[in-house]
Chains A and B, each alone.
Chain A
Amino acid sequence: MHKGILATAAAVAMGVSSLAMAAGTVTFGVQAPITGKYANEGQGIEKAVKLLAKEQNAKGGLLGKQIKVQACDDEGKATQAALCARRLTNAGVFAVIGSYTSGAASAAQPIYARANVIQTSDGTADELTQRGFKTFFRNAPPNSAEAKFTGEYLVNHKHYQRIAVISDHSSFSKGLGDAVAEAIKSDGGQVLTRAYINSGSQDFTSVLTDIKSKNPDVIYFSGYYSDGGLLRSQEKQLGMNVPFVGGDANQNVAFAKIAGDAAQGSIIVNVPAPENLPYKAAKEFLAAYQKAYGEAPPSIFTLTNADGMRVVMKAVEETHSLNPKKVEAYLHQKIDKFPGITGPISFSSKGERIGSAFQAFEVQADGSYKTVYPTSASAS
């Protein structure tokens, strides 16, 4: 009698647990700077991932499992990033989207790799894909590709000769700045000065005054929008009439707000702006984002991270598996020109995103962007 009850109980318990396995959930992590200097980027990434998860869940989930999203705020800092990586791996995430800054992504890499958690990031520092972590995929083009384009634009297209290159001390900004300086030299331009600012210190007038006395043709800045906007406005304050070209991290709606009047005419180099993306997936995603949150995504990086989430989901569906090894193999070898929001997506064997076109945009009086190079923009 007793045995019978126990057996029934065991059977019921097993039935319940196997049901739970079949339905169950799969957790996606978001590691992003949700507070701090890059908060609006981080919040955009979190919103995008949650939106995609909701859409997928409405379609029946991923392999029949509902997607759960767990976010961790790394403040864009390496130490916080390592803590986030531990917290998310402990929570049993399948894949992590993030982080926004290269430094934070890089600090988290080994932890995810050891736990066999797939990571996709928009970090653009070249070394991210050169450290041999099989679990890492970059959904934005690397610094070296951007640097090559920037050198071409500055020296060959605009014929600037005397160029001041400014960076902050983050691994992203320094890496991009160095790469651009190299590209300028190899294209025959002259790097007048390789200057550094302390990100967040707000007062850049001293550095700019020094640059002003060297009389450059153009200032190139490889850092983030919050400092870039200030540099641009302080340039104007100092009465400098020198064109300003910023790297991809300057493309954020806050750049124009912070720079104020001075924003107009600034050039930013990046992959195409969200609203200029010609793809069907982009139009659908932007409309859904606008509908869900009543605002446009803060920058292109919301979209590249959304693409990271989408390729991981695609790989899971194609391989019918939540085995990270199989998903990784699919992403490395099989995925080919997947129609992403930011263009067709494929990955190299190192997890490098292949084939993205850069453009140079000019900030207009109303804060919108106009593509100025290449003049006949072919976005794919």
Chain B
Amino acid sequence: MSEFCQQLVNGLTVGGIYALIALGYTMVYGILKLINFAHGDLCVLGAFIGLTVISSLGGASGSPAVWVVGLAFVGAVVAVSCAGVLLEFTAYRPLRSAHRLSAVVSALGASMMLENGMMLIWSPQTLVFPQGSLPSISWNIHGVQVTFTQLLIIVVSLALMGALYLYVNRTRFGTAIRAAAIDQDAARLMGINVNRVIVSVFILGPALGAIGGLFIGLYYRQAVFDMGWIYGLNAFIAAIIGGIGNIPGAMLGGLLLGLFNALAAGYISSTWQEAITFGLLIAILLVRPTGILGERVAEKV
């Protein structure tokens, strides 16, 4: 039983990170009907910027102060949001009226640019976060080991997801986002500045992704320039499982995928972990082609 609970904790932690990253995919898709393939790399950028802040301000050895880690989060969020907006202006906006395939190719190109740029700036090696960036406290609850980092990731990701949900559903600007997602032209006619809405989505998504990326770095204490692919892929699958374009769906999909991955690796075989993940994806899409929370869109012919 304690083993099962331990797997739940392991899965929830990774699931929280997947969910944070999946939100970026789902919001961009919701508005532009575009899969932002560069999103995973934006998350890695967050991890690298956070690492740079921590290692330059945290002193040569020993644990960096709490404010340094806080500043790392702020720096990562600000820098990655800027990168997201820049990406929108340079890679996606010029192609907005072009065929959708062009934007997908542009997204793949942006992903390669980012990945190789990070390799040049931060070296191709595995970079290591300083020991003790987060307190290494852990609790043993009836044989289930929970670390401070895990708790922090689970709590913060749930809180951020809740805040985003409230923002999108309870505020005027959130209403504008939802309106633009349904029909951009109609929203424009109602006086909504759709370009502003799109820019805001490219701020919010990458900001959450940056936090996810920095969590990955702090949790595993390492970052590699090409790890965006695997996390991006998993988050993308999470977004699809939950119903792409649907914000609560991305949250649910991320958490489910994390749990499922942990249980599959723990009880079946980690060799088959990825095959099982894709099996789950196919099974869900067979039963509900629009994902768990995705709405069935009636197309008028």
Q: Which residues of A contact B (CB under 8 A)?
A: 34-37, 39-40, 169, 195-198, 200-207, 209-210, 212-213, 226, 229-230, 233, 237-239, 254, 257-258, 260-261
Contacts and interface: CB of A to CB of B under 8 A. Distances in A.
24 contacts: A35-B119, A36-B124, A37-B224, A39-B125, A195-B270, A200-B224, A202-B222, A205-B262, A206-B261, A206-B263, A206-B270, A209-B6, A209-B266, A210-B266, A212-B3, A226-B224, A229-B222, A230-B221, A233-B221, A237-B138, A239-B138, A239-B140, A258-B222, A260-B131
A212 B143 CA distance: 11
A37 B266 CA distance: 25
Give the secondary structure class of B's interface: helix
A206 B7 contact: yes
Contact of B271 (A35, A196, A206, A212): A196
Contacts of B262: 203, 205-206
Contacts of A230: 220-222
Contacts of A254: 125-126, 128
Contacts of B273: 198, 201
Contacts of B263: 206
Nearest to A210: B266
Contacts of B123: 39
A40 B128 CA distance: 13
Contacts of B261: 203, 206
B232 to A, nearest CB: 13
A40 B125 contact: yes
B263 to A, nearest CB: 8
Give me the 8 closest cross-chain CB pairs, A-B, nearest first.
Answer: A206-B265, A35-B124, A239-B145, A206-B266, A205-B10, A39-B124, A257-B128, A260-B131
Interface in B246-281: 261-267, 269-271, 273-274
Contacts of B216: 202
B82 interface: no
A200 B225 CA distance: 12
A295 to B, nearest CB: 13
Contacts of A195: 270
B55 to A, nearest CB: 12
A210 B3 contact: yes
B227 interface: yes
Nearest to B273: A198
A364 to B, nearest CB: 15
Contacts of A34: 124
Nearest to A298: B125
B271 A169 contact: yes
B230 to A, nearest CB: 6
A226 B221 contact: no
Contacts of A36: 124, 226
A254 B119 CA distance: 18
Interface centre among A169, A201, A212, A230 (most CB of B within 10 A): A201
Given A35-B119, A198-B274, A237 B126 contact: no
A43 to B, nearest CB: 8
B136 interface: yes
Contacts of A239: 138, 140, 145
Contacts of A261: 131, 136
A197 B126 CA distance: 18
A204 B147 CA distance: 15
A203 B14 contact: yes
Interface in B76-91: none
B126 to A, nearest CB: 5
A299 to B, nearest CB: 13
A224 to B, nearest CB: 10
Contact of B270 (A198, A200, A202, A212): A198
Interface in B91-130: 119, 123-126, 128
